[in-house]
A and B are shown apart, each in its own frame.
Chain A
Amino acid sequence: MARTTPQSATAESMSRQQREIAVSEFFLKNRHLLGFDSPRKALLTAVKEAVDNSLDACEEAGILPEISVEITQTGEKRFRMDVTDNGPGVMRQQVPRIFAKLLYGSKFHRLRMSRGQQGIGISAAGMYGQLTTGAATRILSKLPKAKMAHHIEVQIDTRKNTPTILKDAELDWRPSFPRPAADGACGIPEASTHGTSVAIEMEAQYVRGRLSVDEFLRQCLVANPHLQLHYRINLLNKEVDGDGQPAAPLVEGQWISWMRLANQLPVPPVEIKPHPHGVELGMLMQMLRDTESRTLRGALSEDFSRVSSQTALDVCTRAGLDPKANPRRIANREIETLFKAVNETKLMRPPTDCLSPIGEELIAGGLSKEIQAEFCTAVTRDPTVYRGNPFQVEVGMAFAKAGENEGLNADDPVRVLRFANRVPLLYMAGACAITKAITGVNWKNYGLAQPRGSLPVGPAVIMVHIASVWVPFTSESKEAIAHYPEIIREITFCVQECGRRLSVHLSRRHREHEVERKRSYIEKYIPHLALGLKDILDLPGKDEDRVVQTLRKMLERSHLET
C-alpha cells in the first residue's frame, strides 16, 4: 500500500524526523509511569519522593532524621509542598543535577538497600510542577560548616534532560522544626545547623483517607521508628464573608508532631558487589569490559561477591578459558561459556549485611503506637536471595481491641500495610506480591474468616516489609512489588508464622470468652435453684447463701477449670 502512495516516506525523509528522545521527554509524556497520573496522587508522590530522599541522606550521613512536611494550598487546584530535613545538605554544584535531571543519583549503581533507587523521583516531581504550574523547584540547603545557606531555583530542560538554573544566591537560613510545648501549644522552634528544604508547586488535589499524604506519613513512622516528623496543611479559606471575599485567604493548620520511638539509627547497610548468580549475560559482558583487573581470574574475584581466587580458577577451568587472559579482550562467545560455567558453579549466597531490617521489636512498637491492639507480633526472617539479589521479609501483625480503632471493623477485610525498603506503598495493592502472598494463605487455619481468593476478614492490621538491594517494582512509580516466586514464598512463610501466633492468641481469647459465658450462665441460675430450695424447705437466708456459695464453687471447679 505505502509504496503506491505518492507522498509515501522514503528512508531519507524519515531520517529527517528521526532523533534522540531525552528520558525527560519520555517521562513527560508517560508521567503516569512515575506516579503523576492524577492531581491527588501527584501530591502524594511528590511528598513521598522528597521524604525518601531526606531519610536516605540523613541515614547515610549518620544523622537521626527530623523532617517537616508542609502542604499549602495556593489556588483552587494548586498546592505547594515544602519538605525540610536536618540532613547533611547538598553541595551547591550538585543541586541542579539532583533536583532537575532525571536518572541522576548515587543509588542506581551500587548494591545497597536504600529508599531511592533510580534517581528519577524528585526531579520528576519538579518536572510535573513545572509542567502544570510553570513554577520552578526551590532548594535551600545548608552545609554543617558553611556560614550561609544557598538558595537555588531550577527547572528542567525537558528536551535535553539538563537543569536550567533560575536563581542561585546565598541566604542566611537554617532548617527549623516546631517544638510542641508541654501544654500541646506551639513552642519555640528549634533550628539545625544543617539541612535541606525543597519546595515544589504543582497542580494537585488534597483528599483525606487511605491514599492521602496523611496516611503515607503515618505509615512512614511505622517503618521508620527513628524518624521525628512534623506535618501541617494550610488550606484556602472557602468561607466568604459579607462582600464575597474570603475572610482570611489562608487557614493555617496546626503542626502535628510525632516524636521518634527509637533513638538509634538503623545499622547502616553495607554496599556489596554483584553476586554472579544475579548477573545476566549482557551485564557480565559489560562488567568484564569495565573491569580494572588485568586477568580474567582477577576480574571474577575482585568485581563479584562470593568468588574467591580459587573459585575464579575453577570457573575458568570449567569454561575452558585461560585465567590469565585479559578480561577486556574475551570474545562474546567465550563470555557465554563463562556465563554458563559461573551458573553451574556452587557459590555462597550473597552477603546480607547490605540489608537493614526494621527489627521485630520496633515493628511491634510502631504498630502498637498506631493501633490500639489487644495482640501484636512481628517476625523478621533471615535474608535470602532472588535473582542473586539479597532480600529480607518482615511481617508485623496487630489485632485491634474491639471498638477502639476507627476504620478497623470485625466485618471488613484486614488492613494491609505494605513497605519496600521502609517506604510505604499505598497504590496498586492488587498488583502487589504482598497482597498475593497474603490472599494465598489459608487464614481459616488461624481463626480468621476468608472469602475465597480474598484478604482475610477481621479487625487486624498486617504489615509487610521487604528490604532488598534492588526491590523489583512493577513500574517506576514504585507502587507494587513484582511477583517473584522466591519473594512470594518468603512473605508467605513469614505471614504464616504471624498467623500461627495470632491463632494461639485468638484461641486463648475464645477460651476465656467461653469460660466467662459459662460463668455468667451458672451464676444466673444458681440463685434460682437456691430460692426454690429455700421455698420448699423454708430455709433461713443464711442457708440459702451457703447453697449459692457451695454450688458456685462446685460448678466453677468442674466446668471452668481445665
Chain B
Amino acid sequence: MNDALGEVQSVLVLGGSSEIARATIVELPGNRLRRVVLAGRASSALDDAAAFLGNRGIPTVEVAEFDATATDSHGAFIDEVFDNSDIDLVIMAFGVLGDQMEVEADPSKAVQIATVNYTGAVSVGLHVARRLRQQGHGNLVVLSSVAGDRARRSNYVYGSTKAGLDAFAQGLGDALAGSGASVLVVRPGMVRTRMSAGLPEAPMTTDPEVVGKAIVQALRKGKHTIYAPGPLRFLMGAVKAVPRPVFRKLPQ
C-alpha cells in the first residue's frame, strides 16, 4: 500500500533493466519496499538491476520474463504479478530507439520499434490499468519522451511511437479518473543511459537520477504530466512553435 508520506511497498518495472526505473526506485523515500518485480527479456542488464536492488535491502526482488511484443501473453503475465500482491507503482520503462537511417532502409525494423514502443505498451498498459482499477489504488508511470512532442528528421520513427504512447497514456489517465489509480506521463529529454550511449548530447541532457527524483516528487504531488528536467517544458514549447521550414534546417 501507498502510505500518507508517499512511501510504496511494491513496484513492477516493465522493462526491468531501465536505468531511469532503477533511479526512481532508489529515490523512493524510505524503507517500506517489500517487493520489486523486474520484468523484461532475460539479459545480464536485468540480472544486474536485480542484484543492485537486492543489495539495497529490498526483501523480495523478482525477475520475470516479459516480452513487450508477445501481446497475447500480457494479460496472464499481469494477472500473475498482481495476484501475488497489490502493486503500488508500475513503471512502464521499456522501449527501443533504433537507428533512423537503418529503419528507413529496412522498414521491418521500424515495425519492430513501433511494436515494442507503442503496440506492446498499449497492450500491457491496458492490462495494468484493469488491475489497478480493480485494486482501487496505485500509480502507473509511463516513460514517454520529448521526441514525441515534435517529430525530428533524426528520430521520427521513435518519436512517432512516443507521440502515440503519450496520447495513449494521457487518455488512460482520464479513463482511470476516480478509480483510485492514476497515470503519470513523464517526458524526459535526452538521458545518459545505454539507449543514448554514443549519440551527441542534446541541450538539457540529464542523468537517470534527475529523472528518478522528478518522478518521485511528481508522484508525491499527484501530478499527471512532467518534463524531466522541468525547464524542458518551456524549451519544448518554443521548439513546437518553430515553423516547419525553419525547424527542418536546424541541426538535428
Is the A/B pair a real complex?
Answer: no
Interface residues in chain B, defined as those with a beta carbon under 8 Å from any beta carbon in chain A: none
